Chain A
Amino acid sequence: MSSFINASVGKKFLVSISGIFLITFLAVHLTVNLFLLAGQESYNMAAHFMATNPAIKIMEPLLALGFLLHIGYSAFLTFTNRDTRPLKYAMVDQKETSTWPSRNMFVLGTLIFIFLVLHLSNFWVKMKFGEMSYIDYGGEMVQDAYSLIKAKFVIWWYVIIYIAGAVFLGLHLLHGFQSAFQTLGLSNQLWRKRLMILGTAYSIIIATGFSIIPIYFLVNAFL
C-alpha cells in the first residue's frame, strides 16, 4: 500500500476519489439550497432535516476528510510538478492544445478555497456555533437559517462574491469532472467524449444553480 501512495499515480487516485466525493456533495448541497427558492419554511425544514439526520452526521467528518485529502495531495503534486522544468521555455503556445482551466486547476482550487473559508464563516460557523433565532413549525423548534442567508444576499458585493465562487467552481469542475474518471482509469476513446459532455453539463448546473440563489434574494430585495 505504501508503494501505491508513494507513486504519483497513487496520489492522483486519492485526489480523484476525493474529488468525485466532493462532486457528489455539491449535488446534495445544491439540492438543499434550491429549497431557498421555495420559501422560508421549506428551506428551514430542509436544513433542519439535514442537520438532524444521523447519516449526515456521519458524512460531515468524512466530508472534512475529503476536503483535506483533495487539497493536501493536489497541493503536494502541484509543488512537485513545479520543479520538473527548472529552466522555462522562452515562448509557450498552448492555446490550441489544452484548455485554460485544465492548466490552472491549482489557481482555481486556491480561489475556491478562499471562497470556502469565507462561506463557512458566513453560514456554517453561525449555524453551528452562533446565536440563531428559532421558529416554531407545528410544535418543532427549527433554526431560522433562511433569515441568516437572506440578510447576507441583500448586500450586492456578497452576491458578486458568491457568483464568482460559483463560476470558479464551475470552471474547476469543467476539467475536474472528466479528469477524475480518467485518473481512475474509467475512460476510453468513447467514454471520454461522454464524460466531457456530462462534466460540462454538471459544471453549468452547479455554476448557475449556486448563482441563482443570491441573485434571487438580491432581485427580491429591490422588487
Chain B
Amino acid sequence: MEIKLKIWRQKNATSEGTFIDYILTGVSEEMSFLEMLDFLNTTLIERGDEPVAFEHDCREGICGSCSLYINGRPHGPGNLVTTCELRMTRFKDGDNIVVEPWRAKSFPVIKDLIADRSAFDKIMEAGGFISVNTGSAPEANSIPIMKEASDEAFDAATCIGCGACVAACKNSSAMLFVAAKVSHLALLSQGRAESARRARAMVTKMDELGFGSCTNTGACEAECPKGISLAHIARLNREFLKAGIKS
C-alpha cells in the first residue's frame, strides 16, 4: 500500500524543526510501524538523504524506548500497545499519517523524533528507590504479602517509563509515571516505610522539572501501553497528604 507521511524533522536540540512530507509506496500490512520507518529510512539513505532519527530497542513492548506521537495519539491508534507493537494493518492504502515526537517542556526534542526523557531518571533519583539494601530476591514465603497488594504492586511495576502519559496529558503531567513508581514500592513491605517521604520527594522533583499538574482527565491511563490505572494516582495523593501531615 501507499501512505502519505508527515514527519517532524529537527536537526538538533537548538535548531527549529519542521514537518516534511514523504510518500512511501510498497508498504505491506505485515510491517510494524517501526519496520515501516526502517523501510522509509532505507529509501532515504539510498537517495543520499539523512534518515529519520527515532528511538527503539527491544521492539517487543517492554523497554519503553519507542515514543512516537502518531495521528494525535501517543503510540498511535489502539490501546495497550507501544509504537513497536503497532502494526500497519491499523492503516489503509492512501492514509495520511502524522508522526511527531513527545512534546513537553521537560522532554526537549534532541533530533527528529527523539525527545530527551532523562527528566524521568531525575525523578527516580529523587526518591524512586529503597534507601537500605534489602538484599537479593528473598525466599518467597519469608515476608507474607497479601495477594491483592502484590498484584497491584506488580501492575504498577509494569510501567516501562516510556512517557506516553506525559505526551498524552494536556498539562504534560508526569503524575501517572510517578504514581506507578510510588505505588509499586508503597504496596510492598520493603518500600512502605519511606512511602510518604518518597511521594513528596518525587512530586517536588516533578514540579521542579517543569511537568504540569494532574487534572484527572484520564488521558494518560487510556494511552498507557501498560494500562497503569488512575487508582495509583489516588494512592500517590494519599501518600503525599500523609507526608504533609507528618511534616
Binding site for B on A (CB under 8 A): 1, 3-4, 7-13, 77, 80-81, 83-94, 96-99, 102-103, 105, 175, 178-179, 182-189, 192
Binding site for A on B (CB under 8 A): 6, 8, 19, 69, 71-73, 98, 100, 103-106, 168, 170-173, 200, 203-204, 206-207, 210-219, 222-223, 229-231, 233-241, 243-244, 247
Instruction: Please name all residues of chain B whose beta carbon is closer than 8 Å to the beta carbon of A92 when the two chains form the complex.
Output: 72
11 contacting pairs across A/B (C-beta < 8 A): A3-B200, A7-B203, A8-B207, A10-B244, A81-B171, A81-B173, A81-B213, A84-B212, A90-B98, A188-B231, A188-B235
Quote the shortest CB–CB distance from A180 to chain B (angstroms).
9
Whether B229 contacts A84 by the Cβ 8 Å rule is: no
The answer for the CA separation of A182 and B100 in the assembled complex, in Å, is 31
Taking a contact as CB atoms closer than 8 A, the residue among A10, A86, A182 that contacts B230 in the complex is: A182
Whether B204 contacts A98 by the Cβ 8 Å rule is: no
The answer for the CA separation of A88 and B72 in the assembled complex, in Å, is 11
Whether B231 contacts A189 by the Cβ 8 Å rule is: yes
Whether A187 contacts B215 by the Cβ 8 Å rule is: no
Quote the shortest CB–CB distance from A13 to chain B (angstroms).
7
Given contacts A9-B213, A84-B171, A84-B172, contact A184 B103 (CB under 8 A): no
Quote the shortest CB–CB distance from A76 to chain B (angstroms).
10
Quote the shortest CB–CB distance from B111 to chain A (angstroms).
15
Instruction: Please name all residues of chain B whose beta carbon is closer than 8 Å to the beta carbon of A187 when the two chains form the complex.
Output: 230-231, 234
Instruction: Please name all residues of chain B whose beta carbon is closer than 8 Å to the beta carbon of A98 when the two chains form the complex.
Output: 170, 217-219, 222
